[in-house]
């Protein structure tokens, strides 16, 4: 039986007060087991991004319990949540969020730098992460010298360089064309299938959500449906092989 990794019980999030009060989340219950690939979907304002921020320890709930590996995250201090993020979580964002004047290698090393690892450990781990996403040989290129697909691969390498238990991907293909989107989804699928990394992905694109094995739909701050994907995509253009370095 898979390990219960994340458990949300009665999670609510309120912004404002009085006439300006907004309930972004309304008593959410959710369990995530290790090794799942989950797509979180819903229209704008449905609460999916708020839920992702709470799952990623970037925000705290107004009420309810959030257990990560049995620890009560809602009771942790800011510093303790930061340590949890550094040890267990990796993040991939729509906008890549790379440092513009910094090489791919240095961008990938950043989480290890924040963690206090020594330079040789950082270099070795970053090189392996870049190799894993098909960017071996591109270590010294800056974001301006990389295509959008390559930049997102650097962002994924940065997310996995700490060997996280969970990768949280927020619209990871939102800035990419169709071909590159499927390549990135194939990479996330491979990380999930071949390396056992739990993937939680927010997306509004059904063809990207099709790669997930579980689909959770949010509507008006509540979970409208939570069900297995009956026909998940099991292979992508790149399958589990390294991505070829594309030309610019």
6 domain-assigned: no
Q: Tell me, what's the pLDDT at 237?
A: 56
Q: Is residue 209 part of a domain?
A: yes
Say which CATH number the domain at 49 has.
3.40.50.300
Q: Do the domain assignments include residue 142?
A: yes
Domain count for the chain, please give it.
1
In a domain, 180, yes or no: yes
pLDDT of residue 170: 94
Q: Is residue 17 part of a domain?
A: no
Q: Is residue 183 part of a domain?
A: yes
- Residues of the chain whose pLDDT is less than 50? 238-248
What confidence score (pLDDT) does residue 164 get? 95
Domain-located, residue 71: no
Look up the domain containing 173 and give its range. Answer: 37-60+79-228
Residue 91's pLDDT is 95
Adjacent-strand bridge partners of 31: 7
Residue 100 lies in a domain: yes
pLDDT tens digits along 185-199? 999 999 999 999 999
């Amino acid at each position: 039986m898979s390990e219960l990794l994340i458990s949300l019980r009665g999670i609510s999030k309120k912004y404002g007060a009085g006439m300006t009060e907004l309930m972004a989340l309304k008593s959410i219950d959710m369990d995530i087991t290790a090794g799942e690939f989950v797509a979180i979907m819903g229209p704008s304002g449905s609460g999916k991004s708020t839920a992702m921020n709470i799952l990623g320890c970037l925000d705290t709930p107004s009420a309810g319990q959030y257990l990560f590996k049995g620890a009560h995250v809602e009771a942790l201090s800011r510093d303790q949540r930061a340590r949890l993020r550094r040890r267990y979580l990796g993040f991939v964002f729509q906008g890549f969020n790379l440092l513009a004047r910094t090489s791919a290698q240095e961008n990938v090393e950043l989480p290890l730098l924040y963690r206090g690892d020594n330079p040789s450990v950082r270099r070795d781990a970053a090189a392996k992460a870049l190799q894993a996403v098909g960017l071996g040989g591109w270590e010294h290129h800056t974001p301006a010298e990389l295509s959008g697909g390559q930049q997102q691969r650097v962002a994924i390498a940065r997310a996995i360089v700490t060997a996280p238990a969970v990768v949280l991907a927020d619209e990871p293909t939102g800035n990419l064309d169709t071909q590159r989107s499927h390549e990135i989804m194939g990479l996330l699928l491979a990380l999930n299938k071949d390396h056992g990394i739990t993937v939680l992905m927010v997306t509004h694109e059904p063809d990207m959500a099709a790669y997930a094995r579980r689909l959770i739909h949010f509507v008006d701050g509540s979970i409208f449906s939570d069900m297995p994907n009956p026909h998940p995509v099991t292979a992508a253009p790149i399958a589990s092989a390294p991505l070829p370095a594309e030309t610019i």
